[in-house]
Amino acid sequence: MADGTARVAAPAGNVHAFNPGRAQVARLDGVSKRFETKSGTVQALDGIRLSIGAGEFVAIVGPSGCGKSTLLRILCGLEQPTEGKVDWGGEGPAPRMGVAFQEHRLLPWLSIEQNIMLPRLMQGRATAADVDRAHSLCKLVGLTGFEKRRPAELSGGMKQRASVARALFTDPGLLLLDEPFGALDALTREQITADTERIWTEQGFAALLITHSISEAVHLADRVIVMSARPGRIVAEFRIDLPRPRTEVLGSPEFGRLCGDIRKKLEL
């Protein structure tokens, strides 16, 4: 079993968090982002070099305000980098992407199945195949029997499950998760984290998770990337070589040591 040792950058630069062992779905090469505000320029990201391999689960942890969510927004096209570029699998186009945010963002006047089919409904009428797809995703995330319910009839955890199902509706090659479980109670969060690992294992998509939870990152990820305080730089990378499903090793010394090592890097 690998020891999960971090590769730590020299003080002047970033760790290059590239994974040469897999075909790449996405690669950020020297990505920086600045925002102009009334009080001056804010440097959110500085020289990020990161790849996400096909079928790989990558998690990013870092202090509040370090630019984690900005990085995700750049990947999904909601922001453009000030410097650097994003490459998609060499010269190819961007993969289909699904995004789940901390707020579930379900439309309250639609049923759960309609919310899951929203990417199709925004293009026109849903087909019978789309309805079947929505129902199969409800089964995948544990919402069978709630397809016709409205969001107000569901618990917070169930709404987040529906949000993840909607993100999966287009069969994405890359799933982006921006702290989707952060507002949930501890027990619900643990269960959904385990379910996310199962879904990722079954579906085979690449995933990028933004989270404040070190244990959640170690539970889900093949690699955990640690970012510095603003301006966000990559300061360490941990390869998580623990057996799956990780629910079986949550209390192990290896799991605890990895969490502790990552916490030490964050405290720096």
What are residue 35's phi and psi, to 5 degrees? -115, 135
Residue 140 in contact with residue 161, Cβ under 8 Å? no
Domain match, 91 and 200 both: yes
Domain match, 179 and 214 both: yes
Domain match, 19 and 78 both: yes
pLDDT for residue 5: 44
Domain match, 203 and 143 both: no
Q: What is the pTM of this model?
A: 0.90
pLDDT for residue 7: 44
Domain match, 92 and 180 both: yes
pLDDT for residue 11: 41
Distance CA 139, CA 199 (A): 11
- For residue 253, whether the previous peptide bond is cis, meaning omega lies within 30 degrees of 0, is no
Domain match, 86 and 204 both: yes
pLDDT for residue 93: 72
Give the position of tokens 């690669």.
Answer: 27
Domain match, 26 and 76 both: yes
What torsion, rounded to 10 degrees, do the Cα atoms 238, 50, 36, 42 define? Answer: 30
Q: Is residue 215 part of a domain?
A: yes
Sign of CA dihedral 132, 134, 139, 143: negative
Digitized pLDDT (tens) for each residue of the chain, 268 residues in all: 444 444 444 344 577 787 776 788 999 999 999 999 998 899 999 999 999 999 999 999 999 889 999 999 999 989 999 999 999 876 567 788 999 988 889 999 999 999 999 999 998 888 999 999 999 999 999 999 999 999 999 999 999 999 999 999 999 999 999 998 887 888 888 999 999 999 999 999 999 999 999 999 999 999 999 999 999 999 999 999 999 999 999 999 999 999 999 999 988 6
Where residue 79 sits, what CATH number does that domain have? 3.40.50.300
Domain match, 135 and 258 both: no
Q: Is residue 42 part of a domain?
A: yes
Q: Which domain holds residue 219?
A: 7-96+172-267
Domain match, 193 and 255 both: yes
Distance CA 159, CA 175 (A): 18
User: Which helix (H) or strand (E) is 97 found in, with range?
Assistant: strand 97-101
- Of the three residues 153, 170, 187, the one that is the final residue of a domain is 170
